[in-house]
Amino acid sequence: MFTEKLHQAMNDQVHHEFESAYIYLSMAAYLDEANLPGFAHWMKIQYQEEVAHTFKFYDYINERGGRVELQPIGQPPIEFDSPLHVFQAALAHEQKITADINALYELALEEKDYPSQIFLQWFIDEQVEEEQNAGDIVATLKMVGDNPHAILMLDRELGQRQPPVEANAEQA
């Protein structure tokens, strides 16, 4: 069983993960409207990943004898200036989630909750990948600027992204 403080923090992270999914779905909607289906596809896969992450926390709370307490999710941003702005916002959001996960890990250390430390290590590793992926796309978009041919080529490339195994497993 968790301490009450860690139990609440885990529930807060369920909220953060659901919020992340909602943000990415909003970004996908913007990109679909901008006629960039590959960019939108990338964000839809990101949405699926965040839902899978949510269920990892959901299941872990239950496994540890806690109760999942869902919290309201506010409206995500719906307007962006460009694909670059979308991915800059995604990178900033991933950096926020990294800080949330790190704080949760610190709390697990303070509470001497060793199972939670082990559980959270996966998320720490995942956040390195999440930030790198978004950062790489930001760098590419900065490099290509407003070149429509380059944007279309990147759109096609991003449209090839496959969902991770964990996202597929949660959808089954």
Convert the pLDDT of each residue in 59-75 to its tens digit. Answer: 999 999 999 999 999 99
Query: What does the alpha-carbon distance between residue 45 and residue 158 come to, in Å, rounded to a whole number?
Result: 10
Average pLDDT, rounded, for the chain: 95
Query: What does the alpha-carbon distance between residue 65 and residue 34 come to, in Å, rounded to a whole number?
Result: 45
Say if CB 73 and CB 22 are below 8 A apart: yes
Say if CB 83 and CB 36 are below 8 A apart: yes
Question: Per the structure block, which two tokens stand in for 33?
Answer: 């409207």
- Against a cut of 0.75, is the pTM above it? yes
Say if CB 66 and CB 1 are below 8 A apart: yes
- For residue 62, the model assigns a pLDDT of 97
**Domain 4-70+78-171 grouped into CATH 3.30.1220.10:** no
Convert the pLDDT of each residue in 105-158 to its tens digit. Answer: 999 999 999 999 999 999 999 999 999 999 999 999 999 999 999 999 999 999
Say if CB 120 and CB 105 are below 8 A apart: yes
| 50 pLDDT more than 50 | yes
- For residue 59, the model assigns a pLDDT of 98
| 81 pLDDT more than 90 | yes
| 168 pLDDT more than 60 | no
Mean pLDDT within 28-33: 98
Q: What percent of the chain lies above the pLDDT cut of 90?
A: 93
Confidence of residue 169 (pLDDT cuts 50, 70, 90): low
What are the domain boundaries of the chain?
4-70+78-171
Query: What does the alpha-carbon distance between residue 132 and residue 122 come to, in Å, rounded to a whole number?
Result: 16
| 40 pLDDT more than 50 | yes
- For residue 1, the model assigns a pLDDT of 82
- For residue 73, the model assigns a pLDDT of 96
Query: What does the alpha-carbon distance between residue 86 and residue 138 come to, in Å, rounded to a whole number?
Result: 9
